[in-house]
A and B are shown apart, each in its own frame.
Chain A
Amino acid sequence: GAVVSQHPSRVICKSGTSVKIECRSLDFQATTMFWYRQFPKQSLMLMATSNEGSKATYEQGVEKDKFLINHASLTLSTLTVTSAHPEDSSFYICSASSAGADNEQFFGPGTRLTVL
């Protein structure tokens, strides 16, 4: 149980275009979803926390107009990187948790974004 999927697993786009990444909890209802960014050989950096039906809470320094997060249902959250630039190239990972899960987060497999 507690499976989280991400789509796509890998995406290459041109500079200036927008890219949407989906995160789904397949077998449980995720009251909260988290989006992380991971640079090579570094730890995970939390970008934002989203609760179903409400606006995402962004971490300091993360541009909310650039990284649009929507958590429309208890099983789906999306991250849209708008007007992507090469510096946005990174590994993006989502995670999901449910109420009463002792803070445990279940992680998706990640999405490798490359902006040319």
Chain B
Amino acid sequence: AQSVTQLGSHVSVSEGALVLLRCNYSSSVPPYLFWYVQYPNQGLQLLLKYTSAATLVKGINGFEAEFKKSETSFHLTKPSAHMSDAAEYFCAAGGTSYGKLTFGQGTILTVHP
């Protein structure tokens, strides 16, 4: 069964600092990979997705992620954190039957002034 692991349930950065949220997946076949952001009491918004095209994927709000097959990783980065980036972030993998997604546990990002 496919699994997704997000290292670090909480990440705290200063405004303007680099954001790095880690995601590793387990799959014998490179899956579709997604990063979603969730603000309190809201649904999930897609930040970016990997679908076997370019390994470096650029998303909205200045986020990007790099697919590394050798490391089975899909870490999310942003060069400079903004206060509005404070939210919970979910990594997800698809490519299994019926379009199901497997979600990681989520990482809460806190941005300090």
Contacts and interface: CB of A to CB of B under 8 A. Distances in A.
Contacts of A32: 98-99
Given A42-B106, A46-B100, A57-B98, A102 B32 contact: yes
A104 to B, nearest CB: 6
A12 interface: no
Interface residues of B, number: 23
A76 B45 CA distance: 20
A104 B49 contact: yes
B76 to A, nearest CB: 16
Interface string B98-113: 1111011110000000
A8 interface: no
A67 interface: no
B100 A49 contact: yes
Nearest to B101: A105
Q: Chain A binding site: helix, strand, loop or mixed by DSSP?
A: strand
Which has the most chain B C-beta neighbours within 10 Å: A34, A91, A103, A112?
A: A103
A104 B31 CA distance: 12
B100 A107 contact: no
Interface of A: 4, 6, 32, 34, 42-44, 46, 49, 57, 91, 93, 95, 97, 101-110, 112
25 contacts: A32-B98, A32-B99, A34-B101, A42-B105, A42-B106, A43-B103, A43-B104, A44-B44, A44-B90, A46-B101, A49-B99, A49-B100, A93-B43, A93-B44, A95-B44, A103-B94, A103-B99, A104-B32, A104-B34, A104-B46, A104-B49, A107-B44, A110-B41, A110-B42, A110-B43
